[in-house]
Amino acid sequence: MTIENITHILKSNLHQNGTCQEVFRATVYAHLVEEGDLCFIQSEQEAIQAVKKGASALVFSDIDFISKVPESITLIKVDDLKKAAFMLVGAVVGEEDASFELIKPKEMTFLRMILQNKKNIHYLPNDWKKAFEIILESKKRLFVGCDEEMLKAIRPKLSYFKDKAPGQIVSADSLFRTTFKIHKYIYQYQKITPLHIDILRLVVGLCDKYELPYSLDKMQYTKHFYPIFIEGEPSVQEVMKNDKVIILSDDLEDILEAKEYASGVGTWMAKTMIMVPPKTKVDGVKYPTYYRNDEEVLELINSLQYNYLFIFTDSENILYKIKEFFNC
């Protein structure tokens, strides 16, 4: 691809017109540069390393660290390095070469869970540099990611995937188990909260679109909603007074929706509590319980009175500590 075409794609101008007029390979890692490459750089150290490795053109956004670059090197100045990198990806990888889908993190979790054959799909990491290299080096034709900025730089008209598979909740057996129907099949008493069935339908819809094989027979709890049953798992929808469940979640909206659900089940109101890190604002909850670390969580859950205790956290360590603490 010519330098003129690249500057047009990146909507940028040449900062330094070196001897290079055309490149055949691009990278975002200076240490991976090969002779004649174009390299996206973020620091003076990367610029020096890329030039030593044989880069003929550099793309940068910060003018402060390119003063020592030889005049023979072509320099392209952009406003946003990450966006520019994926604008180039979008030009190199045409519509007929590969498909891109934008989904949310919870949807990505369920997609990873149910998909049986991953040979035709690549999950794009949030690390944009790794994603750049994956896309340009991979021979796969479907890329799925959660980084909206990155994916819309590749495909400007791309929006979040919205086509749900036909289905419905057959029975919300409890807050923690659901019998549901997707397509013509019924899945009984699965480990999934009824709050997540629409997310599951959307992920199945994505699999349907690309004819990806999947299985819904053995659903598992995720970091987005993980119950720990202190007094054993509730077997019916009716909340019993001795029920004691801790629910870990990294999504406050899920916690609030689950709290409302739990409060409205049964003939009496279950006692629900929410624990959050300091300074976390919880809409509709005037006095949440705050915790500063995992040790304080353990102290509080052993002293508080509750049926359902929701803990807002993205730490996996606390899950294992609670299970060990209660031997469950």
Coil, strand or helix at 162: coil
Q: Which domain holds residue 180?
A: 167-210
pLDDT: which is higher, 232 or 140: 140
pLDDT value of residue 198: 97
Residues 176 and 258 grouped into a single domain: no
Q: At residue 5, what are phi and psi to the nearest 5 degrees?
A: -65, -40
111 and 40 within one domain:
no
**Percentage with pLDDT > 90 across the chain:** 77
Determine the average pLDDT of the residues in 30-43: 96
The number of domains in the chain is 4
Helices 197-210, 105-114: inter-axial angle, 10-degree rounding: 60
- Minimum mean pLDDT range among 58-72, 89-103, 230-244: 230-244
Same domain, 66 and 144: no
pLDDT band at 268 (very low <50, low <70, confident <90, very high): low
Three-state SS at 75: strand
Banded model confidence at residue 210, pLDDT cuts 50, 70, 90: very high
Sign of the dihedral through C-alpha 317, 318, 324, 327: negative
| 237/316 same-domain check | yes
Q: Residue 327: what pLDDT?
A: 83
Whether 307 maps to a domain, the answer reads yes
Say how far apart CA 86 and CA 263 lie, in whole Å: 46
The SS3 of residue 199 is: helix
Is residue 250 a contact partner of residue 224, using CB atoms and an 8 Å limit? yes
Provide the residue type at 288 as one letter. P
What is the β-pairing status of strands 57-60 and 38-40? Answer: parallel
Residue 265 banded pLDDT, cuts 50, 70, 90: low
In a domain, 216, yes or no: no
Say yes or no to pLDDT of 243 above 80.
Answer: no
Residue 152 has pLDDT above 50, yes or no: yes
166-183 pLDDT per residue, tens: 999 998 878 899 999 999
Domain contains 230 = yes
Tell me how far apart the alpha carbons of residues 244 and 237 are, in angstroms, rounded to a whole number.
14
pTM score: 0.90
Q: Please give the span between the terminal C-alpha atoms of the chain, in angstroms, as a whole number.
A: 60
Q: Are 195 and 252 in contact (CB under 8 A)?
A: no
Sign, Cα dihedral of 320, 323, 324, 328: negative
254 within some domain: yes
Residues 76 and 106 in one domain: no
Return the closest-CA partner of residue 116 out of 6, 237, 262, 214: 214
Tokens of 228: 């720990």
Query: Domain check: are 286 and 316 in the same one?
Result: yes
Residues 133 and 99 in one domain: yes
